[in-house]
Amino acid sequence: MFEGLCPSNMTNDIIQTWRENAGKTYFKEELDEREPLVREILELKKQKNALILGHNYMTPDVYFGISDFVGDSLELARRSRDSSADIILFNGVHFMAETAKILNPTRKVLIADLKAGCSLAESMTGEDVRTLRKKYPGVPIVSYINCTAEVKTEVDIICTSANAVKIVESLPSDTVLVVPDGYLAMNIQKQTKKKIVPWAGKCMVHELYTEYDVASARKSFPEARIIAHPECKDTVTAKVDFTGSTSQMGKYIRESGSKQVLLMTECSMGDNLRAEFPEVTFISSCQTCPHMKKITLEKVRDALKNEQFEIRLSEDTIKRARASLDRMLAVV
């Protein structure tokens, strides 16, 4: 993209694009304050041969400019495998960085804040999975990718919100355990004849949406397309125009030609899509993930500068967790 440009021109071009995109959310004075940090991070990336991955729920100042790739957690982890980077910095929550480590076992994988957790991932342990196996002998266990590396070592196969139904349908069993997201399990149940046994985990962001929010939005914005994440309650997804993963949301907006959109997902998703679709009016009805918001430009800079907060997993954990991921990839 920048072939033939000197490094300073490359940086200036990146900064200009960052200001244009992040400027859809921030005032000029806020961008002026953040720009030195962005320039410092770009320089550190070059010095350390680092790759920065930005999840869709990052704030626009982190999402744009400093990220080499942006998207959902699995796609980012997969893209990292094709890089020649020495260091991978995952701007997202802890289980996402763990997944990147599982797919890149010989590389140094960092996260900007070790306390950037996930209420859903933390709702289940490896011991919980072993208990389920005893209670439901012979029943396959599918885990949503939003789980810890420990849980990945104990389940049969991983799924994402985009491929969950396909994964469930691929299994030779009339009954399937789906963990840890209970609402995702309920949404899968509506799309399969198999019996789905859910775990009771929840995303603290998506569980806040209700069918009354949908009804209120319909009344206030009758022309708007309402889009929800499958981590929302099935009573919500039953009433919206489209339910899909973060990557599927952007595709739906692009293909539907929607002029007004109301997203029922994390706030920054709407901020980042606003830059991608300037012709679309995004109506704010969002909830904020406090864990995602722990990732700031200052912390990104410090993580790179000091090479701190490395994700460390045992060889056995990586091997067993990788097996459940590979089984998914063989299906999709």
Tell me whether residue 199 is in a domain. Answer: yes
Q: Are residues 177 and 252 in the same domain?
A: no
**Which of these three, 203, 224, 242, is where a domain ends?**
203
Tell me whether residue 325 is in a domain. Answer: no
d(CA 154, CA 171): 17
The one-letter code for the residue type at 172 is P
Average pLDDT, the chain: 94
Q: Does residue 1 carry a pLDDT above 50?
A: no
pTM of the predicted model over 0.85: yes
d(CA 309, CA 89): 10
d(CA 296, CA 314): 28
Tell me whether residue 2 is in a domain. Answer: no
Domain holding 218, by residue range, is 206-283
pLDDT at 10: 79
Q: Are residues 72 and 37 in the same domain?
A: yes
Q: Is 300 in contact with 58 (CB distance < 8 Å)?
A: no
Confidence of residue 8 (pLDDT cuts 50, 70, 90): low
Q: Are residues 40 and 105 in the same domain?
A: yes
- State how far Cα 25 lies from the chain centre: 20
Q: What is the CATH number of the domain that holds 140?
A: 3.40.50.10800
Tell me whether the omega of the peptide bond preceding residue 180 falls within 30 degrees of 0, making it cis.
yes
Q: Are residues 103 and 19 in the same domain?
A: yes
Backbone angles phi, psi at 146, to 5 degrees: -80, 70
pLDDT at 4: 33
Q: Does residue 222 carry a pLDDT above 80?
A: yes
196 DSSP β-pair partners: 176
Q: Are residues 212 and 181 in the same domain?
A: no
Q: Is 91 in contact with 295 (CB distance < 8 Å)?
A: yes
Question: What does DSSP say about strands 281-283 and 242-243: parallel, antiparallel, or unpaired?
Answer: unpaired
Quickly tell me which residue has 């949406």 as its tokens.
Answer: 209
**Per-residue pLDDT tens over the stretch 224-262:** 999 999 999 999 999 999 999 998 999 999 999 989 999
Give the 3-state DSSP-derived string for the chain, with helices as H, strands as E and coil as C. Answer: CCCCCCHHHHHHHHHHHHHHHHCCCCCHHHHHHHHHHHHHHHHHHHHHCEEEEEECCCCHHHHCCCCCEEECHHHHHHHHHCCCCCEEEEECCHHHHHHHHHHCCCCEEECCCCCCCCCCHHHCCHHHHHHHHHHCCCCCEEEECCCCHHHHHHCCEEECCCCHHHHHHHCCCCEEEEECEHHHHHHHHCCCCCEEEECCECCCCHHHCCHHHHHHHHHHCCCCEEEECCCCCHHHHCCCCEECCHHHHHHHHHHHCCCEEEEECEHHHHHHHHHHCCCCEEECCCECCCCHHHCCHHHHHHHHHHCCCECCCCHHHHHHHHHHHHHHHHHC
> How many domains does one find in the chain?
3
Quickly tell me which residue has 């770009």 as its tokens.
Answer: 42
Q: Are residues 186 and 220 in the same domain?
A: no
Q: Are residues 179 and 267 in the same domain?
A: no
The total of other beta-carbon atoms located within 10 Å of residue 34's CB is 20
**Per-residue pLDDT tens over the stretch 112-140:** 999 999 999 999 999 999 999 999 999 99
Q: Are residues 56 and 145 in the same domain?
A: no
CA-CA-CA-CA torsion sign (194, 197, 203, 208): positive
Backbone angles phi, psi at 108, to 5 degrees: -80, 120
Query: Average pLDDT, stretch 264-275?
Result: 93
**Which of these three, 203, 220, 253, is where a domain ends?**
203
pLDDT at 2: 29
Q: Is 285 in contact with 25 (CB distance < 8 Å)?
A: no
Confidence of residue 199 (pLDDT cuts 50, 70, 90): very high
Q: Are residues 31 and 111 in the same domain?
A: yes
pLDDT at 3: 30
Q: At what angle do helices 267-276 and 246-256 cross, to 10 degrees?
A: 40
Q: Are residues 247 and 213 in the same domain?
A: yes
**Per-residue pLDDT tens over the stretch 17-42:** 999 999 999 999 999 999 999 999 99
Q: Is 144 in contact with 96 (CB distance < 8 Å)?
A: no
Tell me whether residue 314 is in a domain. Answer: no
